[in-house]
Structure 1
Amino acid sequence: MDNNILKKGHILLKKTSDLLKEQGKSSVDPFVYKIMEKLSSTQKELKAAKEELHLKKKDLAVTEIDLKNDESSFKLIFEQAPIGAAVVCLDLQFKRVNKKFCHMLGYTEKELTSMKFPDITHPDELEKDLDWVRRLKSGEIEYIDIQKRFIRKDGGFIWTHLTVHLIKNSEGLQIHFLPMILDITHQKISDQKLIESEERLRLAFENANDGVCLVDSRGKHIEVNNRMCELFGYTKEELKKMTVNDITHPEDRYISQEFIKRSLLGENGRAVFEKRLIHKKGDLIWGRVSSSLVRDSQGTPLYFISHIQDITLKKMSEEQVETNLDKLRKAMGGIIQAMSLTVEAKDPYTSGHQRRVANLARTIAQEMGLSIDQVDSIRMSGAIHDIGKISVPSEILSKPSKLSDLEFSLIKNHPSVGYNILKDIDFAWPIAEITLQHHERINGSGYPKGISGKEILLEAKILAVADVVEAIASHRPYRPAHTIDVALNEITQNKGILYDPEVVTACLRVFREKRYQLN
């Protein structure tokens, strides 16, 4: 109501009131009096309405200020959000977009607000995305929460995590969509690489040439590959119900059990070993097992991964080779023995000399800790080291008196003759060279070449000491046998001069500590 009307009504009411006071209530028409009372009541209501209106205007002003502040805050948050944000009309037209969303797609704000949601949606996902929008508008879902691809301005695409809420006004009417967009392209690429890596590992596991299995701490199979099934004749399901012991030869079960035990105690987490395995049909399989304990980042044991290579044919071949080698050794031994007997038949006075030298030389080599291969080469060389004497006339070999220079020169030539006899034979050891050098001395005073020190093979140095000891302690046509002490005294006095010190020390230990006897 207009303020002027209020004022006029107020003046009229006051004048009427003053008039009534002057004339008295009884002189006023009752009807007029009622009107006056009504006017007075209306005045009070108008005053109260005026005060209420003033308060509402004040509240409205505060509300307008709050709305302006809220809008300013929303605008600030919207624009500076670390993720993409937009306001989308119900027809999917972009009404407003923030800088982050523009940066993601490579568009300007003006370009994006002239476009609709389908314009930047990957075509493979459009139909599905529109169905999500339909369901949101119909109330089937409260909000959209999906991973989807948006098309960039340059034609590429980005992977995003999209969350969309439907905004309504105070009357409950739908007014627009509020999508929030997080760029997860790098995460998707990493996830894809991880998936591809896992797929490569799976393919490598399944298609490995060796049997591969994962085994728990109790020895039970967790996972097995195709080759494991081929190797043992079981299905995957059957093997997963079995333990390592179930497919291992009873006598070899301790091998895996000990490895698992030591690994779990932290002693050793890797091992390679060979053991016998059992096929479903009962056939024996030789396997070369390479096993490792896998732990998590805290060091807690997870499982064992084992690679099993079928070496059955290899083992059979090795056994066959070993059998053939054994036959060859026996045949070679027979040939060596025949050659030795040939020499001894020509020189009966030195009968058994080569055999005794061979045995002593072998014992010295063993005392020195040489390999089995070296010991064998020394023994065989000792058995025929004097084969070159076959070229020396028997009368010289058995002459009971002192030899002339010419006769001795013939004797000294026997290492070279022996070398020429043996050099073209394909021995497994340098027997020809050992035979050639067994009369050489470390100071260069020996024969036939006068070589010294490291030029002489160790096997030849051992053979030289054994030859001297046996020769001195044995009977010769020109003298009786000396005692073993005389022989040992000879090598002791010339230790480091004529004979290798280590060889002499080993020889003395063999006789004095281990009571070796020439026989």
Structure 2
Amino acid sequence: MSTDALHIMLVEDNPDDAQLIQEMLIDAALEIADLKICEHLASALEQLKTRQFDIILLDLSLPDSQGLQTIQYIFEHSATLPIVVLTGNCNEAQANQAVKLGAQDYLLKDQLNGILLSHAIRYAIERQQLMEELRDNEQRYRGLFEGESDAVLVFDAETFQVEDANQAMRELLGYTQNELIFCGITQLCCTPQQIQALLVDDIQRKERVSIPDQALQHKDGTLVRVEISLGSYRQSGQRKVVASMRDISERLEAEAQRKHYLEQQRQTLFQTVEVMALTLEKRDPYTAGHQKRVAKIATIIATQMGWSSQRIQGLYLGGLIHDIGKIYIPAEILNRSGVLSKLEMKLIRSHPQVGYDIVKEVKFPWPVAEMVRQHQERYDGSGYPLGLKGNEILPEGHILGVADVIEAMVSHRPYRPAKTMEVTIEEIHSQRGLRYAPEVVDAVLSLYQQDTKIFILDN
């Protein structure tokens, strides 16, 4: 605040002393915008929460606080506010200690007059301002040059005008010092909204605000990707902002290459699995496309159940090869239209375990091998090969089991004609909570109500 029109707080519980000090202030011809008199420390601290003052005139003998701790209480609430102690206690040791604690002056009431008080007030305010400016400058240049590898610039929080920049900043953007100072910060990097995030009720924020990825334009027109850290400080009562920037262009390029590599790996994985599925279906023309249709039906169900896209990818892979174990079953058994013997049926029922043994060593990012083994398990424990039930079965196993049944029932087989979708859904519904998990059946019924043809897929 300007000392031309002062906002003064007087903390004094003696009405006579308060009146005398008030008269001295008037006689001293100080321009006072406001004089707030508080009789208790508590009321003074409350005032400091909501109002700003240029100086505090403080008595150390108050009803709710005595001695030097009164100064400490004030500084805990307003660390930079100048304090002039007014006391009736002529104690040199206490006076020295008060100044060490941060008081700007220590005056005896019985020696006080308007001129002395006026000089003390102006001296205290000016000295405090100089100390604040010194601290601000130290903070400013420490922040600028602590890490020379980072590009750093300083700008005014109100005008957004660049005031200073280090060598790394000039090299990062290709501008000279004068060119940078001529620019406004909004021309270089930050929006006014990002800057305003630093400012809260004129109180300096301790945190720094980060902008993880910002594109800056180099002087030659090329774009430079940087991460920015913003912090603020005060200098001569004005808010300044320090912007530290680090070039992340190479890191982003490496990340893009990594993502491209992972996508290539993912595509290779899916293509390999599809080849495995096609290898089986070449031996069994009646199930051509069966695994892919099961995989698609399973993803439709999982999407309805709110699964993440990442998890659904794994489910789809499991669906593509859920019958891979049938590759070891003779083709004449797979394609036979007549009744199978007990031995042949046992061989057919071994395919989930055989499939598990085939793919268990493949390092999928999902439990694909278990999906293959569990797709014939049933909610009530009546399935195979392990007789698992309820939560012992993976959610993926529950979904693949239902998807497998839906696709099989609506498809023609050598031993029976295709069922209608209506009959298929009725069968699934009748086994809710018995052979099939309730939540999976509910998702199927909801989907069928929305679209009766949703599970009818092309080969």
Q: Say which structure, 1 or 2, has more relative contact order (CA 8 Å, 6+ apart).
A: 2
Aligned residue among 238, 260, 269 for 1:323: 260
User: Which residue of structure 2 aligns with residue 231 of structure 1?
Assistant: 172
Residue 431 of structure 2 is aligned to residue 494 of structure 1 = yes
How far apart are the structure 2 equivalents of 1:371 and 1:494?
Answer: 27
Tell whether the 8 Å contact from 1:385 to 1:418 is kept in structure 2 after alignment. Answer: yes
Matches within 5 A, 1:241-280: 241-247=182-188, 256=191, 259=194, 272-280=211-219
Cα distance in 1, alignment partners of residues 441 and 166 from structure 2 = 60
Task: Provide the secondary structure at the position in 2 that maps to 1:470.
Answer: helix
> Which runs of no fewer than 5 residues in structure 2 stay unpaired?
1-88, 97-102, 108-119, 202-207
Change (3 A) 1:305 1:99: closer
After TM superposition, the score normalised by the length of structure 1 is 0.56
CA–CA distance in 2 between the matches of 1:162 and 1:491?
90
- Equivalent-residue separation in structure 1 for 2:228 and 2:244 (angstroms): 6
Corresponding position: 1:221 with 2:158: no
- Paired with 2:384 and 2:432, the residues of 1 have a C-alpha distance of 18
Change (3 A) 1:340 1:202: same
From the superposition, tell whether residues 363 and 160 of structure 1 become closer, same or farther in structure 2 (CA, over 3 Å).
closer
Offset, 1:417: 1.3
Rate the CA distance shift 1:345–1:312 in 2: closer, same or farther, 3 A: same
Give the secondary-structure state (helix, strand or coil) at the position aligned to 2:266.
helix
Aligned residue number for residue 138 of structure 2: 199
Query: In structure 2, how many angstroms separate the alpha carbons of the residues matched to 1:442 and 1:394?
Result: 30
Q: In the alignment, is residue 375 of structure 1 matched against residue 316 of structure 2?
A: no
Would the aligned equivalents of 2:136 and 2:233 in 1 still touch at CA under 8 Å?
no
**Structure showing greater Rg:** 1
Per-residue deviation, residues 437-492 of structure 1 (Å, max 9, x unmatched): 21122222222222222232222222221111101111111101111112211221
* 1:206–1:227 contact (8 Å) kept in structure 2: no
CA distance 1:257–1:197, change in 2 (3 Å):
closer
| TM superposition shift of 1:302 | 4.7
Does residue 518 in structure 1 map to residue 429 in structure 2?
Answer: no
The residue aligned with 2:378 is 441
Q: Write the mapping of 1:415-454 to structure 2, written as runs, cut at 5 A.
A: 415-454=352-391
Contact 1:233 1:281 in 2 (8 A): yes
Deviation at 1:236, TM superposition (A): 3.9
The total of aligned residue pairs comes to 343
Tell me if the contact between 1:347 and 1:398 (Cα under 8 Å) persists in the aligned partners: yes
Relative to the length of structure 2, the TM-score reads 0.63
Shift in alpha-carbon separation, 1:371–1:301, aligned structure 2, 3 A: farther
Q: Flag structure 1 segments of 5+ consecutive residues without an equivalent.
A: 1-97, 106-158, 164-180, 249-254
CA distance in 1, matches of 2:414, 2:198: 69
Pairing of 1:110-189 with structure 2 (within 5 A)? none
**Once the 2 structures are TM-superposed, how far is the Cα of residue 338 of structure 1 from its aligned partner?**
0.9
Q: Which residue of 2 aligns with 1:285?
A: 224
Q: CA RMSD in A?
A: 4.4
After TM superposition, the structure 1 = structure 2 runs for residues 49-68 of structure 1, keeping only pairs within 5 Å, are: none
In the TM superposition, residue 305 of structure 1 has moved relative to its aligned partner by 5.3
* Partner secondary structure for residue 329 of structure 1: helix
Is 1:340–1:354's contact at 8 Å kept on the other side of the alignment? yes
Does 2:354 match 1:413? no
**1:426 partner SS:** coil
Q: What is the SS of the residue equivalent to 1:308?
A: strand
Residue deviations 1:50-86, cap 9 Å, x none? xxxxxxxxxxxxxxxxxxxxxxxxxxxxxxxxxxxxx
Do 1:217 and 1:304's aligned partners in 2 also have CA atoms closer than 8 Å?
no
* 3-state SS of 1:285 partner: strand
Partner amino acid, structure 2, of 1:498: R
Higher helix fraction (1 or 2)? 1
Question: Given the superposition, is the C-alpha separation of residues 437 and 241 from structure 1 closer, same or farther in structure 2, using an over 3 Å criterion?
Answer: farther
Identity of aligned residues (%): 36
**Displacement of 1:396:** 1.6
For the structure 1 residues 274 and 414, does the alpha-carbon distance in structure 2 shift closer, same or farther, using more than 3 Å as the test? same
Deviations 1:166-209 (A, max 9, x none): xxxxxxxxxxxxxxx9xx9xxx9999899578635632332335
C-alpha contact 1:441 1:451 (8 A) present in aligned 2: yes
